[in-house]
A = this chain, B = another copy of it.
């Protein structure tokens, strides 16, 4: 079978990734270094991620709002470890007017008294609002979310994975007690992990971040990590429990039931356009992109086979009517999107285009298929066989086929993940696995660890891996293979994006 993407995953995974994005018309680099343009075929996936998550957020009482793009420098400075975490990657607005200079060139003028930071996150500005909005225990919990753009200046940009500007949602909540806050942070992690599994068909590993990987200023960072097909880890999103750290920095207090002032406990949690990068690297193959059906921009590509001029209008009109009928079907709260490829290309080219773009289903329809009422349906996950269906069967069964593709994708990714997690109990085994250099695929290594930031730094330096997460529910503690201290939980080590 012809391979559409060159190089293949095994030949050069990073290059393959770029080529899939290009072939599927998902995004491209913007004129401003580090920024990206998300093209319609990619943006539709983000819209589907948004609408599905947004509904889930609202079901648990989260309300959307909008906070400003610009943050005064003094706000960012309020929490010391927070500003340290972002200082190296801030875009800073210093002027608000352009005027022609003596050389005739436009030059920034009207310098601001206080520089403004383009938000890298809105913790501090939302904290300031919470301090005004929250007065008593009756105002708690407060749960606010915003969908917006954020900026973290990036020297080595990669489409969807690391860009200077990206899109995300950031949820921020305030609670009366530490328990409520921790429960919220944990609940969001579960919501995200279920979303990854049920909607994106991606199995994830969940747990705590280690000290070295924690969000600046957080008490605990919960994470969910996906295994890409090169065996590297991608952090797909995080949920932070801040304790009262940010409440103290922003002065968020409430009168409790006894009439005493207390600091609230806060959480924040977010996912970004990076999720699209995960989808690409988990599901796609050497023929191109593979869209998980529940966030697909389009579900069904209809390729009309136009062989004889005199039949063309009949075939086309049949295809258009079929698309119309399919578009009435609802799948995961949205209309199925079927479209007829009417471009001026040969059938074979259209077929390959649909494969590379990763549409879950493809129908190839010619005059004879219509006459016989046997329509050849191709599943993106099973390219070699077509299924012959009557039009009625197709309409009746289409959501089942979409579910089937979802299940196939999930099972395949889950199997791959399980096969590539290795558990070790000695430093020798650990070192052997990571000293080999880059293999394909790389491994996730589960090893007992207990130690601080410094130990983590040493491990990263020596083996070029980081702790991705420390899974919850570990009844058996062991001896750390690095520090030899007892009481260690198994941590997942991996190379990461």
Contacts and interface: CB of A to CB of B under 8 A. Distances in A.
A67 interface: yes
B87 A106 contact: yes
Contacts of A164: 70
Task: Tell which of A37, A99, A118, A129 has the most Cβ of chain B within 10 Å.
Answer: A37
Given A115-B108, A118-B118, A97 B129 contact: no
Interface string A85-97: 0011111111111
A35 B69 contact: yes
A67 B118 contact: no
Contacts of A97: 87-90, 92, 153
Given A37-B129, A95-B94, A149-B149, A70 B32 contact: yes
Interface string A148-166: 1101010000000000110
Interface string A27-46: 00011100111111001101
A323 interface: no
Nearest to A167: B66
Given A39-B65, A65-B39, A66-B43, A96 B87 contact: no
A106 B88 contact: no
B94 A89 contact: no
A251 interface: no
B90 A98 contact: yes
Interface in A53-99: 63-73, 75, 77, 83, 87-99
Nearest to A163: B68
Given A96-B90, A128-B31, A37 B64 contact: no
Interface in A90-116: 90-99, 106, 108, 115-116
Contacts of A31: 72, 75, 125, 128
A344 interface: yes
A65 B37 contact: yes
A144 interface: yes
Interface residues of A, number: 60
A382 interface: no
Contacts of A118: 69, 93, 118
A93 B77 CA distance: 19
Contacts of A472: none
Contacts of A129: 37
Contacts of A38: 65-66
A68 B35 contact: yes
A343 interface: yes
A403 interface: no
A138 interface: yes
A96 B33 CA distance: 12
Contacts of A88: 97-98
B96 A93 contact: no
Contacts of A117: 98
B106 A73 contact: yes
A117 B75 CA distance: 23
- The residue in A75, A98, A106, A165 that gathers the most chain B C-beta atoms within 10 A of its C-beta is A98
Q: Which 6 A-B pairs have the closest CB atoms?
A: A40-B63, A35-B68, A38-B66, A87-B98, A96-B153, A30-B68
11 contacts: A35-B69, A36-B68, A37-B65, A47-B64, A70-B164, A73-B106, A77-B106, A83-B106, A88-B98, A89-B97, A94-B95
